[in-house]
Chain A
Amino acid sequence: MQLRVGPPQIGRSGLTQSIFQRLRKQNISTWLVGFACGANMLIAGCSRPAAPSASIAIEHEISPEPARVGPAVITIKLADGAGKPVNEAHIGVEADMTHPGMSPVFAEAKETDPGRYQAHLEFPMAGDWVVLLHVTLPGGAKLERQIDVRGVRPN
């Protein structure tokens, strides 16, 4: 018995056949242009606005530099638009690895001098880390800042 390589396609109903024929008759370039425009709009729609932190300057420093597995200190300086230190802010610090599935590290920053805050972290693993600063200003306004800590080195 002669067998075919795989079965023929399942038969289509008259309705779907007519839809198919109509689609085939349309200009393929119209479809391509439409797809390109749609993809472009999707990409453009995915870009997000910048964080609203223009009037607050956030400086940071991490020691040891370069960071190593083990304890680390993050120093954060907050200043307003005029360069005046911002006191009594609340800063939560969160450190995540860039790979999913790793345990994040949390800490609270304490104000050591006017506008100067320090948080003590412990990096448990070597690799790329991202430190997130969750800042709540005295007035209640909230800011987020992301710091890339690349290449935390093994001990």
Chain B
Amino acid sequence: MNPSSIPTPEIPNPDISDSLPFDLMRVPGLGQLFRWRYARPLLQTPLLIVSVVMILHGLLGPTLAPKNLATTLSWLHFRGVLVLVLLCAGNFFCLSCPFMLIRQAARRFFTPRFTWPRALRNKWLSVGLFILILFTYELFDLWSSPWWTAWLIVAYFLTVLAVDGFFKHASFCKFVCPIGQFNFVASTLSPFEVKVREQDVCTRCHTKDCIRGRREPVSDLVTIRGCELALFQPSKVGNMDCTFCLDCVHACPHDNIGILSRLPASELMTDPIRSGIGYFSRRKDLAALVVVFTFGALLNAFGMVSPVYAVERWLGQWLHVNHEAPVLGVVFAFFLIVEPVLLVGLATWLTRLWTGSRRALLPLAVRYTYGLVPLGFGMWLAHYCFHFLTGLYTLIPVTQNAIASLGRPLLGEPRWALTGLPPNIVQVVEIGFLLLGFAGSLAVIYGLAENDSPDRPLRAFLPWAAVCLVLWIGSMWLMFQPMEMRATLMSG
């Protein structure tokens, strides 16, 4: 199915819970804020200011990463806060995305005229960019380079301007942005979702402003945008592709859209047709994104522990190369191609064999791959929260130092001894996240297995549970390896 085609409105949106969900929009103060038309720019502006400070400090400030705001904020605080907000609330980073503020400003002068090419209306490009970012992160040791980090942020701004300067709607968010794709996948586990409150109201609605936008009666000009990501609220299911931009909330003339609570990961257990997406089980590109999300989590953590250096040295000798890129390429190929093909392939084959399913191998693999999302997110949480929590307070001395370097130490002399929580305490938190991810994956896979084989769900469940167990053991092993953060993999 074409991912961006609009499904018919009569497709029901399955209610996950019978009880009335909690609605963030009903919280006094918060509801008024989110309903306010300028809520998004209000949230974006502070992040834009921080981004500009990061770029300037990255280019002009100290070259040592632990003393620079660009590296400290990017690789410690931003990543840590991002995954925790995704876990505890939803995709609120995309709501506050500073890149979109610049885009909006630019669109006052440049109106995009093209539609995003049909061949690229999927996740394949963003999957490639996601891998590219992971690869450059390791190859150029982005965490240790304020200069490269600053240019990465600049490049992001320029890419947003270029893509959304030429192409209509939110093409960058939906089809390009690697951070956005990460958020989309992770937010399938979030406890909140932008969703219609009452389906009946939508059924009676004739204007469909949530997708078309609200228009002036005479000129027919859109005064309040509808969803730029082609998610039609009445048939939208879950958080995939939703940037929480709240355009639909502002456009809905019936105030029928809220930010509702739900069971995290529940959207992974069902396979209805989803507005703007289609069926999960038919989206090979989305499944590939999930594979990169999950196995990339292990790969990213693997790059920070001692055994990676022994592996890379051995590979370097075996390949007779001194340059890091080809060795990294082999490591990436193993983690992102060989390992998934072996594990997912074997589990799919066993599922088919034991359940007698008539589905072809690839659709079956695609269907169950979504069950790996919680496990992958658990690993990202464990990894990012390790850095975030153990370096929690480092923002204070780095900020003090940045201000002092301007000539006036307004916040006092840098207190470099401030770091964060002790690693032994953080390790307990890490184990908790990994266990949570493991349990979540088992629950999702059992839900899928029950749907597929109501009589014998264990036969479909066991092969995938075994895959989860292997990945979980691998994650636990990685977490207990001695950290060895090096920028020089090939130096021996």
Binding site for B on A (CB under 8 A): 1, 3-12, 16, 19-20, 23, 42, 46, 94, 96-104, 106, 125-128, 130, 132, 146, 150-151, 154
Contacts and interface: CB of A to CB of B under 8 A. Distances in A.
A56 B398 CA distance: 30
Contacts of B483: 125-127
Interface string B360-399: 0000000000000000000000000001101100100010
Interface in B244-265: none
Interface residues of B, number: 66
A98 B109 contact: no
A145 to B, nearest CB: 13
Most B CB contacts (10 A, CB to CB) among A96, A101, A103, A104 go to A101
Contacts, number: 152
Contacts of A103: 417, 419
Question: Helix, strand, loop or mixed for chain B's interface?
Answer: loop
B229 interface: yes
B306 interface: yes
A43 to B, nearest CB: 8
26 contacts: A1-B9, A4-B212, A5-B6, A6-B170, A7-B228, A8-B213, A9-B107, A11-B223, A23-B109, A94-B416, A96-B66, A98-B65, A98-B486, A100-B398, A101-B66, A101-B76, A101-B420, A102-B390, A102-B391, A103-B419, A127-B483, A127-B484, A128-B485, A146-B64, A150-B488, A151-B491
Nearest to B306: A154
A7 B111 contact: no
A128 B169 CA distance: 44
A36 to B, nearest CB: 12
Interface string B36-70: 00000000000000000000000110001111100
Contacts of A16: 108-109
Given A98-B144, A128-B144, A7 B219 contact: no
A6 B229 contact: yes
B141 interface: yes
Contacts of A132: 64
A101 B222 CA distance: 47
Contacts of A8: 213, 222
Nearest to B141: A98
B111 A12 contact: yes
Contacts of A102: 66, 390-391, 419, 485
A148 to B, nearest CB: 9
Contacts of B487: 98, 128, 150
Nearest to B214: A7
A6 B59 contact: no
A126 to B, nearest CB: 4
Contact of B208 (A1, A99, A154): A1
Contacts of A3: 6, 208, 211-212, 232
A93 to B, nearest CB: 13
- Pick the 4 closest A-B CB pairs, nearest first: A101-B391, A11-B221, A7-B213, A98-B144
A99 B65 contact: yes
Nearest to B309: A151
A16 B106 CA distance: 11
A125 B391 CA distance: 14
Contacts of A19: 109
A5 B486 CA distance: 47
Most A CB contacts (10 A, CB to CB) among B5, B67, B492 go to B67
A7 B71 CA distance: 38
B394 A101 contact: yes
Nearest to A16: B108
Nearest to B151: A43
Interface string B183-222: 0000000000000000000000010100111001001011
Given A7-B222, A126-B306, A101 B72 contact: yes
Contacts of B141: 98
B226 interface: yes
Contacts of A146: 64
A150 B491 contact: yes
